[in-house]
């Protein structure tokens, strides 16, 4: 299993903290935030990881390489775009393999990754938190509405009706990359 961690964006909502430091390097409890998803994937048995970088890529790469010398990097030149562009930037790393996708600015636990990996029948899913009580997660998180079978029917930060909050952890397969390519082509990028 491979892992992709997205850490390409500006982090504009965290300014002034991100004026000189990329969001993925902002520290929480004495550690850069990017270390939390990396450590969670590694602890769950995923060691083949690519971090997608963009904004201030050299700074991010230099800091991560000091802590994790075996990490791969993919570059997203269109890092002011949405997350799908960052996922697509790692397509050569992923190839045809299924992969776990983690957001580089989420505090992800290894137990959540382990639970995700425990069901070998899952090839595409988003882990959600349906019991979130943390006000910042609810106010700033990506909200998710599902149907009775648990399939996502709406997702976005501005949903008025929703049941869960996105945890920043996904299981995906290469078909997702084909779909992203189709959408990029349709948009003329």
Tokens linked to 48 = 């083949």
Q: Does pLDDT of 154 surpass 60?
A: yes
Question: Which domains can be identified in the chain, with CATH numbers?
Answer: 2-127+168-186 (3.90.550.10)
The tens digit of pLDDT for each residue in 79-121 reads 877 888 898 899 999 988 889 999 998 888 898 899 888 877 7
45-54, 111-120, 152-161: range with highest mean pLDDT: 45-54
Angle between helices 110-117 and 35-43 (to 10 degrees): 50
- Which range of 9-18, 84-93, 163-172 scores highest in mean pLDDT? It is 84-93
Instruction: Give strand pairing partners of 23.
Output: none
Return the higher-pLDDT residue of 96 and 156: 96
Q: Helices in 6-67 by DSSP H: which ranges? A: 35-43, 57-67
Res. 54: pLDDT tops 80: yes
Mean pLDDT to the nearest integer, 175-185: 83
Q: What are the Cα distances from residue 71, in Å, to 35, 36, 63, 119, 127?
A: 12, 14, 11, 26, 24
> Quick one: tokens of 161?
């009706």
């Amino acid at each position: 299993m491979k892992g992709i961690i997205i850490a390409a964006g500006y982090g504009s909502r965290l300014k002034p903290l991100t004026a000189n430091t990329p969001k993925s390097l902002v520290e929480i409890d004495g550690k850069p935030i990017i270390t939390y998803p990396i450590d969670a994937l590694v602890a769950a048995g995923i060691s083949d990881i690519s971090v997608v970088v963009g904004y201030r890529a050299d700074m991010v790469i230099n800091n991560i390489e000091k802590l994790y010398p075996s990490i791969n990097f993919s570059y997203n030149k269109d890092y002011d775009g949405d997350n799908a562009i960052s996922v697509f930037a790692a397509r050569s790393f992923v190839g045809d393999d299924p992969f776990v996708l983690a957001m580089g600015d989420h505090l992800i636990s290894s137990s959540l990754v382990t639970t995700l990996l425990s069901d070998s029948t899952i090839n595409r899913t988003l882990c959600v938190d349906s019991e979130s009580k943390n006000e910042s997660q609810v106010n700033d998180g990506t909200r998710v509405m599902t149907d009775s079978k648990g399939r996502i029917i709406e997702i976005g930060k501005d949903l008025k009706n929703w049941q869960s909050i996105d945890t920043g952890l996904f299981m995906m397969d290469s078909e997702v990359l084909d779909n992203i390519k189709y959408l990029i082509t349709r948009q003329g990028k």
